[in-house]
Structure formats: C-alpha cells, structure tokens
Structure 1
C-alpha cells in the first residue's frame, strides 16, 4: 500500500523547510504544495489547520498534523530509519528542550533584533546575542547539535544556519559573526554544506530580494509615519 504524504508550505519559510529536510533525511517521498500565506491561503490549508491557519501542515494518509516541531516528532515516530532524536532518554529530552528554546526564545529575539527601530535596536540586539550565546553552549565542540549527524536541534536551527545570514545582508545588522560566535558560525558552515540540507533551502538570491523588499517597505512606512 502506497503512502500519501503531502507538505503544505511556503518557499521562504524555515518552518516548512524543516519538515522537508526531515522527510528527505528519512528518505520519505512526498508531494509539496506551495501556499500563498500572505494573500490567498487555500481552502485545503484552512481545512487541515483550522486552529492556526498556518503552514506547515503535513498530511499523512489523509490525517493532518500542524506545527513544525510537532510534525518533526511525528516524522521521527512514523519513519524509524535515520533517527533525528537520540535513543538515550536524557539526550532526547535535551534535544526537545533546545528545539523549544529556539522557537520560543531565540528565533523571536533574532527576528525582532533584525527589524527593530533604531531607538530600540541596541537592547534587542543585546537580547538576541545573549540567546545565541546560550545556544552556542549546547554545541559543546560537536560537529552538529545532534553529534556527528544532523538531528532535531540542527533542523530546528535551520533559520540560524541559513536565513539569518541572508537577513543580515538585507538589513545591514550583524548578529552572528565569527568573532562573537566561532562555534555557531562553524556549525552553520557544516550545516549548509550537507547535500541533503542544500536540497531543503530556498534560493539565496530570491530570499535576499524578498528581505530587501521588506526592508524597503519598512523604511517607506517609517518615512510616511514621520511626515
């Protein structure tokens, strides 16, 4: 019996790209469905994720699962090959802890720091850097957060591994540098060098253009507000 696996996502979303990366690591064939999350969400997306009305959504044999970290756990439990979580209960709990830390603390702070107005920038950048420093401590000299192979925390940190550098280029805000965070920068280089990871990243030029357009839009809004 053939399995039906579909991913509802958006090309530039690190969250739907997480799901694709996990499926690729597991060798699971899937159909990808692009959603226009800003202007025209499809009836299917609203049907399968009526609570949050967001991507990503994994559809497995007609059953929808929402929220990227929940989906990653589901993928791990459903397809046992190439595990993304350690077997040891403590190590597994730690991986879940850091994945949640990324979503609840680190990523919101980085996003806020990148887009914060000038009068709030110093404080927001300081907060973001504190979270990066905490995250870097979880590497402990390892190649990946998961050890020798890409695991749950690496997948959850994909925004830092790829998106953040592109966002920095668009905004001119440097949050992640080799001087401040040598271990994290080394990890980002290892992460994006993996062939399976490369297949799960958006085109850099297109992402940079998208962020630059948002920067220009934000500047226009600020100019109009100050007139």
Structure 2
C-alpha cells in the first residue's frame, strides 16, 4: 500500500520558492515605481538615478531605458571581477527600468512644495520597502551591488570606501549632465540604510529547519545582496 503524499507545510520548499519569486518581482517593480515618485517630486534623486536622468537628458532616451542600458554595462564589468549573476541580477536589469518608465507615464507631475515633499517621502519609504522585498528573496545582488562587492574582494579595500567613491562619482557625473540633486538626494542618503535594515528583517523568508534569512543594511544604504542566517543577528549588505 503506497503512502499518500505529504501535504505542503506552510513554509515548505514550494511555498518558499513561490514567496521568494513574488517578493523578487514585486520588489523590483515597486523599486521602479518609487524611483518614478522621486523623479516627479522634482526634489532630488537617488545617486544612480541622478546619473540616469543626466544621461537621459543628453541622449533623449527614457530614464528607464537608460537605467537598463547602464545596468547591463555594469553587469559586463562583473566578468573581470569573476562575479556570477543570479536570477535577481538579470531581473534587476530588465524589470526596474521598465517599471520606472511605466510609472513615469502614469504619474502626473505635482506642483507646490507640500505635494512635492509628500511624493519625495513616499518615494524614499517605498524604495526601502522595495529593497527589502527583492534582496530578502535571495536571488542574487543587483549589478551595481555586485560591482561594489567584486571590487571589495579584488582590491581588499573596504566596501564603505568603494561604495562612497562609486556613488560620489555617479552623482557628480550625473549632476554635470543635468541630473537632479536636492533635498531628496540627502533624505535618501540618510534614511535608506535604516529603512532597508528594517524591511530586510520584516520580509525575511524562513528557510528549511526553521531558520530565517536576515540581512542588515550597511550604514550608508545602497544596493547590496549578501545574506546571513538569523543565528547571527546582522549580516552586511549593500542595496541598489
């Protein structure tokens, strides 16, 4: 007499994979939407989007398309660094830019400082939610994260130093090209680290054996994608 199949448990492999995939793509889509809110606020953008906006101004391409092209170019830099992309890495390149362009098409411009400030704050908070969703899904870091961690391994320099040099460079270049730097850029820099740390823990997907994956944002925020078991309360990660 054959034994009937065991029904899936609440946190069985199938359920975990389904939740992880949902988190990945919901997070990437929300990331694009949150970035569009910051664009429409007109009060300043995240560091990489300052560059993307500047390039979009110069080339006439949409910001989302520029984001995708730059992400693909950064991914090529992984080759000499011997980084291996995951599903989340490739999806990051393809989904965020498309979601951002769709949101920019749907969202109207806002006028008046109160409305602009509201969209700016909403954009920063939702960006933290989005980052927590897609990184906690554990499908690999975004292309910009992998560049930072790859340079860290190859050069031996601290992640904080490498991240600072890269982001100061992209902000300065983007600003020179016409990208928007303002109070939103400063708010993002100050708030994204704590927001990501909170939402990474909030959206951690339980693993087999009852453990959960916990990742904690570095003090500066940013796109980072390594994880650690909960038995250690903090693991260092970089955001997008």
Per the normalisation by structure 1, the TM-score is 0.29
In proportion to residue count, which structure has more strand?
Answer: 1
